[in-house]
Structure formats: C-alpha cells, structure tokens
Amino acid sequence: MDFLSYVAEVSRGWDESNAREVGRMKSQPNDPNAKAGMYTVNEDIDMKAKVAAMASRLEE
C-alpha cells in the first residue's frame, strides 16, 4: 500500500465515530503556546505513518 492510499484509508475514519472510542480523541491539542491547528498525534498512528512513508521510499 502506498503512502497516499494509507492516508486516504486512515482519514476516512476521522469523521466517523467508533463506539469504543467515543469520548476519547486519538490526537490532543498541544500546549496552549503552540500554533493554532497543531496537534500531537498518538504514537501508534505516528509510527504507522512513518512506516508507510519509509515503505513508499523503498519502493521508489
């Protein structure tokens, strides 16, 4: 799976509520001094994105 396919697949679920995750966000706003719109990504999601990016680089 290439990186853009992975991003598309993951982003589809961002707007859909998952019953077991109701009330729990996967990403949290950074400290109050951070720039608007910046979030800290859950380590699991961050690692999946890094692996997908590395795999796409290896495919080239």
* Segment 27-47, tens digit of pLDDT: 555 555 555 666 666 778 888
- In this structure, how many other beta carbons lie within 10 angstroms of the beta carbon of residue 13? 11
pLDDT band at 19 (very low <50, low <70, confident <90, very high): very low
pLDDT at 26: 53
CA distances from 22 to 4, 13, 42 (A): 27, 13, 16
Query: Which amino acid appears at position 6 of this protein?
Result: Y
Which of 42 and 24 is assigned the larger pLDDT? 42
pLDDT at 57: 86
Using DSSP's 3-state secondary structure scheme, residue 36 falls into coil
pLDDT at 25: 52
* Residues in Cβ contact with 59 at an 8 Å cutoff, skipping those fewer than 6 apart: 2
Q: Rg for the chain (alpha carbons), in Å?
A: 14
